[in-house]
Structure 1
Amino acid sequence: MTETVLVTGGAGYIGSHCAHALRDAGYTVVVLDDLSTGRRASVPADAAFVAGDIGDGALVAEVLARYRVAAVMHFAGSIVVSESVREPLRYYRNNPANSQVLIDASLRAGVRAFIFSSTAAVYGEPERVPIDEDQPTRPINPYGWSKLATEWMLRDYAAATGLRYAALRYFNVAGADPAGRTGQSSPVATHLLKLACQTALGQRQQLSVFGEDYPTPDGTCIRDYIHVSDLADAHVAALRHLLGGGDSLVANCGYGRGFSVLEVVAAVERVTGRKLPVAKAARRPGDPPMLVGSPERIRRVLGWTPRHDDLDFIVGTALAWEERLERETRKENVA
């Protein structure tokens, strides 16, 4: 009998990729998502789906019991840095407050492993690059603080109860499933690569570059871009580690090298053969100049080896997904 994994936010970008990776690995999957930003069609066809909010403790408890869930992968939450600066209380409600409900219900249900979708934003402006997990956590925006608060809860719950958990700190997630099963479908696009691909396809008039005076070689922010399928593989590896009796883990998920905004723009132009109309814009609040993570711990502890560490490949999969969404939209409009 295969283990059953509850994937919260499993209709969203990263959650849906992890749901597919879990099914590919032979796990039984249950997805809980309120579809506020997720896409029902992105959920694996053979996964159970429950529409609902992780803040609904009664619903979460019922789902955990009904499906005899052994492990939880938690992706549900709010993720836009600039929005967190404008609406901090919303982020503390949707992230740590709702996570506490989920963690508590998971403990009561006897869940053996809990994997949390954290972020490199917990580091704030790092002391050195690449960033390792022992660097101080000093977020510079409410999004980062809200994720770090959930990490603290997991740490303390684990110390008190013996719960095994993994907090995976993502750097910039990009790309789409190479098999075309899912991709980034949020109704409001905020990720650079998605916006750049939409601009290349003529869906946007121009691409805004926020800040060109950062202390970086070309003046634009530098980020460590990780393909979403490699990230999903890291989650499956963490699950196996925890269910196999491994110790709790806090680990970076990145490649250990970064690309600037303008380098990403150049890659999209290279892959598409099209010049992107780019407009200068003011810095966004809460954006550090450089975030590049050391992947040494996750490689050593989990034996994780990325398969898609190539910027042009990442761009190609993201572009293919945007083209698919465009075709689907055209068909819907004709119908």
Structure 2
Amino acid sequence: MSALTGTANSLPTTRASRRAAWWSAWRRRETWAAYGFLSPWLIGFVVFTAGPMVASFVLSFTDYDGIGATHGVGMENYRQLFADPAVAKSLANTLVFAALRVPLSMAFALVLAMLLLRAGRAAGFFRTVFYLPVMTPSVAVGILFLLLFNGNVGLVNHVLGWFGITGPSWTTDGAWIKPGLVLTSLWSVGSTVIIYFAALRNVPRDLYEAAELDGVGRWGSFRHVTLPQISGTLFFTLIVNTIASLQTFTEAYTAFFGSSNSQTYSNDAALFYVVYLFQQAFQYMHMGYASALAWLLFLVILAITVIQAKVSKRFVYYEGEER
């Protein structure tokens, strides 16, 4: 009798263990399936991002030139960074460019997005119009800069002349080269416009109605309703545009370093950090030194991003978050 009772009691335990084993096997199959779907991205990340980063870090401690034998030089490349005046000059140019471009492009994109919000049924058409310039190759934008901002025959100075304003020498005056490049970069704010447009459409209408009932004007509604509600989006575009600005290369290189008549232009003010990095790597074949330059830029971008993230906690509002 006791034997029969023991057998009966063991049956539920056996069924439970079988279910647990089956569920564990199923979870393992799901896990491997997930890794299978993720494998193209994982392989691409290892081969094209993580691998080159590790390789460049190793090369930054060598005199690698892509041709001859490679020898370790210790911290020599990093010591040279602080002794090279071109590094400080190019980094200063890049920081000034980013400080001008990021707020101006964000403000301009926000104005266009708010106008787009009032376009009604035509919004779809204008979204396409605003986004199309993003598809323009950066090399073409660099050439466009030379055409539009030519001090003698450029369209910008020609239009300024209609109002009795003598335009500056955008391509030869070092004080105006970076502002000219910043204005040219506004050509491609379409992607930011689309992001802002989507954020503005998600702002609850009842908040504007409540503000109107409280007697708040349009500026008050913009300041106390619109900006807090889209602050998360503004922060995202701030990070993205800052990183992109610190890595700017193609437009400046095309306009001042890549053309056959580049010597006729003052290119010292257009020597951005990535331009100098490119010259060291592929013009002078100082690959090891260029790798050290790349890691310095990585640290600069990381530091600025961390600072922005810390400061944003005081200004960015997320729905459902306790303040």
Task: Give TM-score, length-normalised by structure 1.
Answer: 0.23
Name the structure, 1 or 2, with higher relative contact order (CA <8 Å, separation 6+): 2
* Richer in helix (by share): 2
Task: Give TM-score, length-normalised by structure 2.
Answer: 0.24
* Richer in strand (by share): 1
Q: Give the greater-gyration-radius structure (CA).
A: 2
